[in-house]
Amino acid sequence: MTALMRSASLAHYADLAASVGLVPHEMLAAVGLPRSCLDNTELRVPAASVMRLLERSGEMSGEEAFGLRLSVTRRLSSFGLVGMLARDEPTLRQVLDTLTRYLYLHNASLTTRIHESGGVAVIEQLFLPSASAGRQSVELGVGALYHTLCLALGKDWQPRSVSFMHPAPANLSWHRSILGSNVFFSQDHNGIALSAFEMDVPLRFADPVMRQQVRRLVHDDLPARGLTFREEVERLITALLPTGRCRVDQVAMHLGVDRRTVHRRLAAHGTTFIELLDGIRLEQAQRLMGYGDRRLTDIAALLGFGSLSSFSRWRQKHPGSGS
């Protein structure tokens, strides 16, 4: 199943592309996207094509912060119906819960998860492996999240940290001017950390009456969640890999089923848990090895291997996992 996203993700793309010497319509044509993407925000287009467009735009223009610069135009309204549903939630936690629950309506290749420990909350962004998200797509997503948090917590709010898995660009000026000084690269996740108490601070702009009216108007018209069982498993594998607990029983527990059900339902999709696990590990290994700044022991841990030797044995069975 092809993951789709709203063409609203390309809002202001033409202006930015032209400003760095690109011809927007030619760039779209090169990845198979129609010109109407730039005029109609409600088209459903392949997420992988949009991500290829962003990566090509960064490469051909030489602008390493292309995706991040595009993110500065993002507001809750950029999420369309999803933003409308989230706008009047009473706390940031509920805003993020609503955005996550209905994000598939805006971008079916992206999801978020929140984990809290020691008074710190980390909002992590995860892409479907099939989307092959690169630097520009990741920075657009994290940048949009950052601007959403600023809208909720105030223009002077600063995160504890903004983390990216990819290496730092040659020039950090755009990242510092947009995201502040607490930006870190070559980390084990893509996301933003903030104080846990900020998750439950009442939001000044929340309107409970409007919230009820919007939910009453749109809730019954929401389409069913568009993820297949296979895609749900892929997302869980991606999230669980760095924890070292990516096993079929753990995935089954998160899905609320037993392991036999996981095997049976994946078989109906023509695959197995091990095939999905190896495929995701292979894609991530190629990407992490390609960064060129990671130690093998760090990569092994991010891929869920308990030791470098077990990672080495796996690599011998999968020669395409990187040099």
Per-residue pLDDT of the chain (323 residues; tens, 9 = 90+): 578 888 989 999 999 999 999 999 999 999 999 999 888 888 889 999 999 999 999 999 999 999 999 999 888 778 887 787 788 888 999 889 888 888 888 888 888 889 899 999 999 998 877 667 889 999 999 999 999 899 888 888 999 999 999 999 999 999 999 999 999 999 988 999 999 999 998 887 777 777 777 777 666 555 545 567 888 888 888 878 888 888 999 888 888 888 999 999 999 989 999 999 998 888 888 888 887 778 888 888 888 888 889 999 998 888 776 66
**Domain-ending residue, one of 162, 184, 200:** 200
What integer pLDDT is reported at residue 32 of this predicted model? Answer: 93
Q: Residues 176, 260: one domain?
A: no
Nearest to 100 by CA among 248, 252, 239: 239
Query: Does residue 20 lie in a domain region?
Result: yes
Q: Residues 158, 53: one domain?
A: yes
What integer pLDDT is reported at residue 143 of this predicted model? Answer: 94
Dump pLDDT digits (tens) for 246-267.
Answer: 899 988 888 888 899 999 999 9
| pTM of the predicted model as reported, rounded to 2 decimal places | 0.78
Nearest to 174 by CA among 134, 149, 143, 145: 143
Q: Residues 191, 315: one domain?
A: no
Q: Are 30 and 17 in contact (CB under 8 A)?
A: no
Q: Of all helices (H) and strands (E), which one includes residue 112?
A: strand 110-117
What CATH code is carried by the domain that includes residue 110?
3.90.1520
Q: Residues 192, 233: one domain?
A: no
Task: For residue 266, give its domain range.
Answer: 229-321
Query: Does residue 79 lie in a domain region?
Result: yes
What integer pLDDT is reported at residue 319 of this predicted model? Answer: 78
Query: Does residue 275 lie in a domain region?
Result: yes
**Domain-ending residue, one of 147, 179, 200:** 200
Q: Residues 184, 82: one domain?
A: yes
**Domain-ending residue, one of 184, 200, 216:** 200
Q: Residues 196, 292: one domain?
A: no
Query: Does residue 222 lie in a domain region?
Result: no
Query: Does residue 205 lie in a domain region?
Result: no
Q: Residues 182, 257: one domain?
A: no
What integer pLDDT is reported at residue 323 of this predicted model? Answer: 60
Query: Does residue 224 lie in a domain region?
Result: no
Query: Does residue 149 lie in a domain region?
Result: yes
Q: Identify the burial level of 131 via C-beta atoms within 10 angstroms of its C-beta, where 0-12 means exposed, 13-18 middle and 19 or more buried.
A: buried
Q: Residues 241, 189: one domain?
A: no
Q: Residues 262, 312: one domain?
A: yes
Q: How many domains does the chain have?
A: 2
Per DSSP, helices labelled H in the chain are 13-19, 24-30, 47-61, 66-71, 81-86, 92-102, 135-153, 173-179, 208-218, 229-240, 248-255, 259-268, 273-291, 296-302, 308-317
What CATH code is carried by the domain that includes residue 257?
1.10.10.60
What integer pLDDT is reported at residue 182 of this predicted model? Answer: 94
Q: Residues 147, 241: one domain?
A: no
If phi over 0 gives left and psi between -120 and 50 gives alpha, with beta otherwise, what is residue 225?
beta
Query: Does residue 208 lie in a domain region?
Result: no
Q: Residues 235, 165: one domain?
A: no
Q: Residues 233, 185: one domain?
A: no
